[in-house]
């Protein structure tokens, strides 16, 4: 990533040799120990070890928060080697910071759990910044500014994603987004790909419709055209779904959501497998996409994550498997109950057998390590804690139900430890307009509900009184 003509002084070479030795030991530690741990152990410890704590951080058992803008160097040789990216560094917190490193290493390991290859991670300030970071490198102009560029994406996606693709990229930069309306139809995906298609992009489960697609089939299709598959797996989290293990090249996480259930701040991440597929990228980008965009693209664009938020997010992630299990079970109970409620027109939840993609989701969505859990001792499907339902009686009746909620919070947020609801047509997906919402399958009478860790009976009681009060 540095200039081939950089002069390496003897002092710089000494630093490089020492740091190469450190990196080799860390890689060996990952292969010999960390890769053998169960998911929960990785979530709790990541790469922060007792040795790190004792030798470097005065024995702190929790990763320290480095509230500093920059790193000091021993001499000019170390600075020159660091700024040429020849040794690990956190020269400036816009580029890197020890706290964000621990956050990135943990997420890379969690998304790569069960994957034979290597994964790396680039932290970002939000989920939207993560999407920009993931797609931007594939949209470069190679010949002339007018050269046609396009990408293919699922229309069933978060409203912010729809805006970024349709407004920021299509309208402002003339980069065509070709929307897939039925993500389960492989022929539709294939029909939209040509020699100028840079990548395929899919969100699953989608927000708020809870749609799904066959990850392996779409990844194989992408690779047959020598382009990558990028997946937004925010709703599932790596506790329930790890797309890289099924062929995806890059995973986007809005860590703000389920991964950090406390709701204390905003964070994002891009996790990529090494040696991804892309005929439009140079070898360095393909070899280690996440590190490349971290040290080059994001250095220049600046969507950095604050070190305080990195450690706060880490603390939330430590118990992600047990939280997703608990909240998924509660959501299943609520979805089943609402499915037979006289005031409810329909329920959208992948765990229900009558959902069109239930069988497909059941192929991919599993509670990680359930077979090692004494409560289950076998593989167990879990479908997450996001669901939606449509109210009988139209938009005004839906607003009445929404306004009558007492325990469930009215907000555009999701993934919280507390249950939160919104009406997507007037909130998260308002800006994409009626035509865009119709394309994405978001009616005006839909309420999106993200179930928290409360007892499900209390959530059901609140839903029931709200539905009945709005008759």
How far apart CA 202 and CA 204 sit, in angstroms, is: 6
What is the Cα–Cα distance from 111 to 269, expressed in whole angstroms? 11
Q: Are residues 405 and 373 in the same domain?
A: yes
Q: Which residues of 45-92 form beta strands (DSSP E)?
A: none
Inform me whether the pLDDT recorded for 440 exceeds 90.
no
What is the C-alpha to C-alpha distance for residues 283 and 134, in angstroms, rounded to an integer? Answer: 16
| Whether residue 188 is found in the same domain as residue 114 | yes
In contact, 237 and 320? CB cutoff 8 Å? yes
- The strand pairing partners of 154, in sequence order, are 180
If you count DSSP H runs as helices and E runs as strands, how many of each does the chain have, helices first? 19, 12
Segment 211-249, tens digit of pLDDT: 999 999 999 999 999 999 999 999 999 999 999 999 999
Question: What number is the average pLDDT over the span 339-353?
Answer: 97
Residue 134 in any domain: the answer is yes
Q: Is the pLDDT of residue 3 over 80?
A: no
Dist CA 103 CA 314 (whole Å): 6
Q: What is the CATH number of the domain that holds 99?
A: 3.40.640.10
Average pLDDT, the chain: 95
The reported pLDDT for the residue numbered 1 is 55
244 and 139 share one domain: yes
| Distance, CA of 241 to CA of 350 (rounded, Å) | 13
The tokens for 70 are 């920059």
**325 and 235 share one domain:** no
CA distance linking residue 344 with residue 404, whole number of Å: 15
The total of structural domains in the chain comes to: 2
Q: For residue 446, give the H/E element and its range.
A: strand 446-450
User: Does the structure show a pLDDT above 90 at 428?
Assistant: no
| Res 432: pLDDT | 81
Portion of the chain with pLDDT greater than 70, in percent: 98
Q: What's the whole-model pTM score?
A: 0.96
pLDDT of residue 67: 95
Arithmetic mean of pLDDT, 436-440: 83
| 354: helix, strand or coil | coil
Are 266 and 403 in the same domain?
no
pLDDT digits (tens, 9 = 90+) for 168-208: 999 999 999 999 999 999 999 999 999 999 999 999 999 99
Q: What is the pLDDT of residue 295?
A: 93
For 303-338, the pLDDT digits (tens) are 999 999 999 999 999 999 999 999 999 999 999 999
Q: Is residue 377 part of a domain?
A: yes
Place of tokens 């190679």: 142
Domain boundary among 302, 317, 332: 317
Kindly report, residue by residue over 356-387, the tens digit of the pLDDT.
999 999 999 999 999 999 999 999 999 999 99
CA dihedral 137, 99, 203, 212 (to 10 degrees): 140
Kindly report, residue by residue over 132-164, the tens digit of the pLDDT.
Answer: 999 999 998 877 767 889 999 999 999 999 999
Q: Is the pLDDT of residue 411 over 90?
A: yes
Q: Say whether both 326 and 274 belong to one domain.
A: no
Here the CATH number for the domain that contains residue 389 is 3.90.1150.10
Q: Is 373 exposed, middle or buried (0-12, 13-18, 19+ CB in 10 A)?
A: middle
Last residue of a domain, one of 317, 343, 358: 317
Mean pLDDT for the stretch of residues 406-419: 96
Question: pLDDT per residue over 20-68, tens digit each?
Answer: 999 999 999 999 999 999 999 999 999 999 999 999 999 999 999 999 9
Average pLDDT over residues 422-428: 91
């Amino acid at each position: 990533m540095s200039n081939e003509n950089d002069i390496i002084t003897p002092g710089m070479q000494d630093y490089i040799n020492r740091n190469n030795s450190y990196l080799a030991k860390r890689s060996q530690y990952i292969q010999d120990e960390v890769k053998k741990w169960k998911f929960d152990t990785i979530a709790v410890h990541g790469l922060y070890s007792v040795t790190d704590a004792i030798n470097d951080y005065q024995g702190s058992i929790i990763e320290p928060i480095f509230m500093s803008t920059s790193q000091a160097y021993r001499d000019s040789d170390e600075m020159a080697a660091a700024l040429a990216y020849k040794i690990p560094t956190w020269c400036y917190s816009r580029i890197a910071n020890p706290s964000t490193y621990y956050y990135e290493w943990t997420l890379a390991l969690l998304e790569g759990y069960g994957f034979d290859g290597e994964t790396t991670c680039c932290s970002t300030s939000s989920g939207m910044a993560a999407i920009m970071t993931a797609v931007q490198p594939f949209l470069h102009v190679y010949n002339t500014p007018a050269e046609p560029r396009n990408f293919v994406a699922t229309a069933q996606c978060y409203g912010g994603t729809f805006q970024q693709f349709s407004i920021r990229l299509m309208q402002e930069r003339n980069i065509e987004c070709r929307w897939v309306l039925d993500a389960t139809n492989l022929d539709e995906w294939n029909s939209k790909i040509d020699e100028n298609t840079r990548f395929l992009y899919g969100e699953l489960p989608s927000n708020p419709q809870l749609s799904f697609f066959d990850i392996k089939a779409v990844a194989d299709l992408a690779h047959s055209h020598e382009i990558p598959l990028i997946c937004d797996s925010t709703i599932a989290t790596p506790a329930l779904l790890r797309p890289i293990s099924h062929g995806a090249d890059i995973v986007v996480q809005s860590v703000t959501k389920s991964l950090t259930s406390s709701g204390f701040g905003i964070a994002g991440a891009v996790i990529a497998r090494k040696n991804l597929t892309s005929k439009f990228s140079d070898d360095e980008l393909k070899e280690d996409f996440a590190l490349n965009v971290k040290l080059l693209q994001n250095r220049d664009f600046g969507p950095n994550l604050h070190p305080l938020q990195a450690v706060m997010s880490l603390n939330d992630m430590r118990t992600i498997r047990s939280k997703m299990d608990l909240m998924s079970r509660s959501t299943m109970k609520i979805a089943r109950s609402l499915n037979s409620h006289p005031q409810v027109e329909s329920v959208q939840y992948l765990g229900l057998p009558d959902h069109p993609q239930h069988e497909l989701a059941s192929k991919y969505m599993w509670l990680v390590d359930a077979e090692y859990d004494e409560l289950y001792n076998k593989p167990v499907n879990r479908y997450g804690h996001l669901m939606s339902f449509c109210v009988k009686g139209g938009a005004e009746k839906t607003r009445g139900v929404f306004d009558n909620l007492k325990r469930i919070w009215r907000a555009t947020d999701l993934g919280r430890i507390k249950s939160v609801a919104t009406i997507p047509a007037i909130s998260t997906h308002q800006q994409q307009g009626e035509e865009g919402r119709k394309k994405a399958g978001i009616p005006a009478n839909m309420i999106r509900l993200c179930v928290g860790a409360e007892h499900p009976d209390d959530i059901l009681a609140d839903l029931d009184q709200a539905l009945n009060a709005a008759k």
